[in-house]
Amino acid sequence: MNRELFWKAMLKFFSGLLLVGLLLFLPAGSFDYWQGWLLIGILFVPMFAAGLVMMAKNPELLRKRLNVKEEQGEQRQVIAWSGIMFLAAFILAGLNRRFRWLMLPDWAVWIAAALFLLAYLLYAEVLRENAYLSRTIEVQENQKVVDTGLYGIVRHPMYAATVLLFLSMPLVLGSPISFAVMLFYLPLIVKRIRNEEEVLKQGLEGYADYMKRVRYRLIPGVW
């Protein structure tokens, strides 16, 4: 086991856990926010399990997933705006819980939780299919076009999964206000995808042909 990679992953994991907890429960003014605990459970338990699997079976993929340093200026802007969006969505969810502005019924929260877990399964399948996945936009050494499985349906199944993840997240928290904020993710991901495809067309052999074979980026028959 690579101890440096292990401790780096643990630091990222527990830092994220602490940050999400603070952003939810401080604005809520209480730990009595069961929707917040539900989100933390369905978000971080699978994340921890996936990290252990990658550490054991594919540590290089885990290393790529931990790398968040973007070289593309346009992508740094996308990440910065995404961070602001998440901060606003979580804080507003906590405030929404404290002041009871507009709370979703319990049944809607549980449906959203099921959608979130479905999106996690799709995300895990993408990780299984594509060993070149990185959190940064780049063409890696010896990288090849992946066009099987979900990649034979849409060109960016990972982003399709994240759209479902991120849009279900505020609904798990019971906050329609936060859901409205998270809708800003849609133009951000469109911007990221268009930039990524330009990089891949120029640097990855066969990607232009792949784009002709698989027409849709995120949603079959739509876009």
**Distance of alpha carbon 123 from the chain centroid:** 8
Instruction: Locate 61 and state its tokens.
Output: 């993929």
Q: Quick one: pLDDT at residue 49?
A: 86
The one-digit pLDDT tens for each residue of the chain (223 residues) are 577 888 888 888 899 999 999 999 999 999 999 999 999 999 999 888 888 887 877 777 777 667 666 555 667 788 888 899 999 999 999 999 999 999 999 999 999 999 999 999 998 888 787 766 655 555 555 677 888 888 889 999 999 999 999 999 999 999 999 999 999 999 999 988 998 888 888 878 888 888 889 899 999 888 8
- Domain 3-213 CATH (choose: 3.40.190.10, 1.10.10.10, 1.20.120.1630, 3.40.50.261): 1.20.120.1630
Give the C-alpha separation, 206 to 208, whole Å. Answer: 6
Q: Quick one: pLDDT at residue 144?
A: 79
CA torsion, ordered 128, 209, 79, 88, to nearest 10 deg: -80
pTM for the full predicted model:
0.87
